[in-house]
Amino acid sequence: MAFFLRSLHEQMRVLDRKLERDKTLLAGLPSHSLKMVEFIREHGRMTMREAVGLTGASRNTLKVQLRSLVHRGLLIQRGEGRGAWYGFP
């Protein structure tokens, strides 16, 4: 029983560290980027069409923001062109 409780406590500490890291990474993001990250968190993936519908921003603005999120390692791009979608690494 003691082993189980220690393991559970360690797992909680690891998850707390991950949550803090996510908060600091997401803190400086523009509002459109935050909306897109939350959408992907809820649905698992997002296409450019969904991003435009979600944010109401232009495709070019969203392309720049998505490229930035991919460059920072927060998202990955799968596919290219019209078939591309974004998700978590």
Q: Is 81 left (phi over 0), alpha (psi -120 to 50) or beta?
A: left
pLDDT score for 86: 97
CATH code of domain 2-87: 1.10.10.10
Angle (CA) 46-42-17 rounded to 5° is 110
- pTM score, whole prediction: 0.70
50-82: per-residue pLDDT in tens? 999 999 999 999 999 999 999 988 899 999 988
Predicted confidence band of residue 6 (pLDDT cuts 50, 70, 90): very high
Residue 34, token pair as written in the block: 């935050």
**Domain chopping of the chain, boundaries:** 2-87
Residue 25 pLDDT greater than 70, yes or no: no
pLDDT band at 24 (very low <50, low <70, confident <90, very high): low
